Structure 1
């Protein structure tokens, strides 16, 4: 995979939500965007899944800007917005997690003599994310074990309404209007529409994960509902980080499957090049004299195609990351090795003789860098040969 294809961006609006996610990360390091936005990049504890965490502050507009910056900075597997929300109906109980099947920007409308007519924008959750989230909900092993907890939080799937006003009433004109026109929405909040729009424009998959902390019914400021905020934020963070881990693992599997496909295609190409069709025979590095065919058996190993070598390098990257996660490589060696690997991949993709030489030299340097890890060195050796090096 490329440099950031093992990374998921997680965004939050409140410090409470930010800290709930951050507690689940190991070794967070600050990364500053050129415009001043600060991200913390760490790994989900006990895994090699990387997460870039940032605070957007309240509102759809701010969330959209920060989401766009995060996507440009990291090119992530996905963007996950995590936080708390108010429940619009009794379906979702306090502490439950709501995963958006679609997001309504409910402030879209037209004001006419007979009232305000709803004209929302709607963003549907990506199919793959919805399927994966549903699977995790069925498996139901994502929540923390909390002593004394009356019941485990449940995952609910449905629409989320996102606007620009804190909703804390059941009887106000706006509250009645929302429940009338968006009666399938399970929860209401203030950032999902902005993040969904940023993902739509950038082509990045977006997931919205919210913990229910109140009922948006006038009791938000009560001591009881305030006590639910940290619990709801923790539940949302637990599900979101598990979702991030599964998204990265699926991406890794996809890369490995493609690498296997490229290897199979290469073997088929080799087979075809040595197979006769009708009266035509393909011969490489050979000659014909009289009625005899002479093959040059000293031609040496055949270099891989640029596309095939790039796919093989993607597969090798997964093994490199895993050996680092298992402690076989230290941080500095892994960082240098990944840099060499990415450089070799870029060179291999160009397909020119000069870039092929550069790829070979970089892979030879990489071979020396990981020489103390025999398992990795053994996996790299045929790639050096495929790049044109000696067997």
Structure 2
């Protein structure tokens, strides 16, 4: 059975406590750089949760998210807490799960004004589908007493910036309305979390309870009333989502274990996760609805893996030359590939972990290229099997 946990991060202690109440016997796990996580199990399930606190802001959130992914190799990373509603769409207490995240502060200042330079990350398809399913089932909040109304789960864009937004008429409010008017909620950490997940190949979900309207009506008195309720609602939905994610992984592992071994061809690794689905059959790979033949074979040792990594570099170079891999992504991918190759040559348990994480970050960088992703998949598995 998979032992990988779900990592859940929050920005505020109030949000952290709402999540911690869902865990049975949480134990402290100290990162070597001082970050404290707590690891516990959702009561009545086999779902392990790693809980961490990032503090406010996209930069802090990105650093702690990167640290958590490196330390725990999670099934998924969930960011859970409260947010302000935009345009009056969501009610106080409702939960918003991001379909995509905007980093709304990106722009360029020119003589004729400030021009938007949007940055956006989409939620992994599998997690998005599972979240929609749970919202339709609508039993995730049944154990929450004292609710003024039944909270709804809404799906849409979340805007993430660097300031607390509480106005309808400020320059920042007008900017968001002009360039990001489909956003349902606004907060200060989702962009950092999304970027960390993207670079590390980790599925990410942003789940926010609506605690205010970000329109000038936000106040300390209202926060004392609505923040605990919104945080509790977000924690309840995130817990249910985490339990279902782990259950899916266990079902996949059982299905793979029960499959009979057949001859007459090379049976490649089968991976079907919420973030990425790559299936190897015979001498090819299937990704989504496309089939790529002659995918890289599964390496059996450090020498084989290094040779496959060298071959993969040539494939990346060809994609760069034909324009399907942009220059910045290509250079970042080369850095991760060199890191993986160097670690693989050391052939130790620690090197195996380093190689695997480098290849997962590489997978995140090339996620828009199904062919490259399919070729990389068996190498990620092989890296994990190095001694």
Instruction: Tell me the TM-score normalised to structure 1 length.
Output: 0.67
Match of 1:92 in 2: 90
Alignment of 1:224-373 (within 5 A): 224-261=222-259, 264=260, 266=261, 268-269=262-263
**Contact 1:220 1:226 (8 Å CA) reproduced:** no
**Per-residue deviation at 1:260?**
2.1
Cα distance in 2, alignment partners of residues 26 and 137 from structure 1: 25
Which whole-Å CA distance do the structure 1 matches of 2:111 and 2:84 have between them? Answer: 31
Residues 47-93 of structure 1, C-alpha deviations (whole Å, 9 max, x = no match)? 11000000000000000000000001000000000000000122111
Question: Which residue of 37, 49, 52 maps to 1:54?
Answer: 52
Q: 1:255 to 1:55 in 2, by over 3 A?
A: same
What corresponds to 2:202 in structure 1?
204
Aligned to 1:179, the other structure's residue is in SS state helix
The alignment status of 1:164 with 2:159, answered yes or no, reads: no
- Structure 1 residues 146, 29: CA separation in 2 closer, same or farther (over 3 Å shift)? closer
- Which one has a bigger Cα radius of gyration? 1
- What stretches of structure 2 of length at least 5 have no aligned partner? 271-299, 302-387
Counterpart-to-counterpart distance in 2, 1:30 and 1:144: 30
Residue 147 of structure 2 aligns with which residue?
A: 149
Partner of 2:219: 221
Distance in 2 (CA, whole Å) between partners of 1:31 and 1:125 is 28
Of residues 251-260 and 26-35 in structure 1, the stretch that sits farther from structure 2 once superposed is 251-260
From 101, 106, 109, give the equivalent of 2:107.
109
Q: Using structure 2 for the length normalisation, give the TM-score.
A: 0.67
Equivalenced residue count is: 273
Q: Say which SS state the counterpart of residue 207 (structure 1) adopts.
A: strand
Tell me, in whole angstroms, the C-alpha distance in 1 between the residues paired with 2:44 and 2:196. Answer: 31
Deviation by residue 1:96-137 (Cα, 9 ceiling, x = unmatched): 000000000011101122221111210000000000000000
Structure 2 Cα separation of the partners of residues 58 and 186 of structure 1: 20
Q: Secondary structure in 2 aligned to 1:51?
A: strand
Do the aligned residues in 2 keep the contact of 1:11 with 1:54 (CA within 8 Å)? yes
- Give the equivalent residue in structure 1 for 2:131: 133
Residue 223 of structure 1: CA displacement? Answer: 1.5
The 3 A distance-change label for structure 1 pair 27 and 121 is: same
**Which residue of the partner structure matches residue 33 of structure 1?**
31
CA drift of 1:160 comes to: 0.3
**Aligned counterpart, 2:120:** 122
Unaligned runs of 5+ residues in structure 1 are 274-304, 312-348, 351-391
- SS at 2:255's partner residue? helix
